[in-house]
């Protein structure tokens, strides 16, 4: 996962996932504009393994996170952003600075499938557990990236056990996915959520808090 080589930054003239636009408008008599991106909505799933009393999350390299760290240490990389060429990354940072812990998730790009069906597919592909729609509990939906994309993410909860695991997960290699499945013990979950040495998404923090408020009090007492 962390064997990142031959890094090169270049302008993005077309994308399967992002479409840049500029909205011009008048608000309270003032003329304004705002640049934004259109992208896919998504689903995410908080997975709790009842056999081992742990959360199942994923760990993967995120180029956007990596490049934020690059810019923080090497701001000159983006100085020529309006030109056709960018300076090469002569001293790239170790790939680990771009690795994050996240909920199992996926984009909504299959018109024939419901959000629940997409969520079930993602749980199987990324984490190796076979769940049904009946196994899902919808927690809520919210907007992410409100200043840039405004896309909607729908969060589900699923309980699994060891017997429901049919593979090691890891995503779809043919699509370039390289995902590591990570288990976070229930007793260590809130410490993990607030430990900044483990880069993570807000979805992880929020969903762990939701679990401790809504599910944990109903668990059998040891």
Nearest-CA neighbor of 93 among 179, 177, 195, 7?
7
CB contact set of 33 (below 8 Å; sequence gap of 6+): 22, 23, 24, 25
Q: How many CA atoms lie within 13 A of 60 on its CB side?
A: 22
Q: Which residues pair with 35 in a beta bridge?
A: 22
Report the DSSP beta bridge partners of residue 159.
48
* Residue-number span of the structural domain to which 105 is assigned: 19-80+89-218
Cα 142 off chain centre by: 14
Number of domains in the chain: 1
Task: Report d(CA 128, CA 122) in Å as an integer.
Answer: 9
Average pLDDT, the chain: 91
**Per the domain annotation, does 209 fall within a domain?**
yes
Sign of the CA dihedral running 27, 30, 33, 34? negative
Per-residue pLDDT of the chain (222 residues; tens, 9 = 90+): 677 888 877 788 889 899 999 999 999 999 999 999 999 999 999 999 999 999 999 999 999 999 999 888 888 777 765 556 666 676 788 999 999 999 999 999 999 999 999 999 999 999 999 999 999 999 999 999 999 999 999 999 999 999 999 999 888 777 767 899 999 999 999 999 999 999 999 999 999 999 999 999 999 876
Domain contains 7: no
Position 14 in a domain: no
Task: Please report, for the domain that includes residue 38, its CATH number.
Answer: 3.90.79.10
């Amino acid at each position: 996962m962390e064997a990142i080589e031959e890094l090169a930054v270049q302008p993005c003239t077309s994308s399967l996932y992002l479409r840049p636009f500029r909205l011009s408008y008048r608000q309270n008599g003032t003329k304004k504009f705002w640049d934004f991106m259109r992208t896919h909505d998504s689903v995410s799933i908080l997975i709790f393994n009842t056999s081992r009393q742990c959360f199942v999350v994923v760990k993967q390299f995120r180029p956007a996170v990596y490049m934020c760290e690059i810019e923080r240490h090497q701001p000159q990389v983006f100085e020529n952003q309006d030109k056709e060429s960018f300076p090469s990354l002569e001293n790239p940072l170790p790939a680990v600075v771009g690795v994050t812990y996240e909920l199992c998730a996926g984009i909504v790009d299959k018109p024939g499938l419901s959000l629940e069906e997409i969520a079930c597919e993602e749980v199987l592909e990324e984490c190796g557990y076979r769940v049904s729609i009946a196994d899902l509990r919808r927690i809520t939906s919210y907007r992410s990236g409100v200043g840039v994309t405004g896309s909607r993410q729908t969060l589900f909860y699923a309980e699994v056990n060891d017997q429901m695991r049919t593979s090691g997960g890891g995503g779809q290699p043919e699509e370039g996915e390289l995902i590591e499945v990570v288990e976070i013990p229930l007793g260590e979950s809130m410490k993990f959520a607030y430990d900044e040495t483990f880069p993570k998404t807000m979805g992880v923090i929020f969903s762990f808090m939701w679990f401790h408020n809504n599910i944990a009090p109903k668990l059998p007492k040891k």
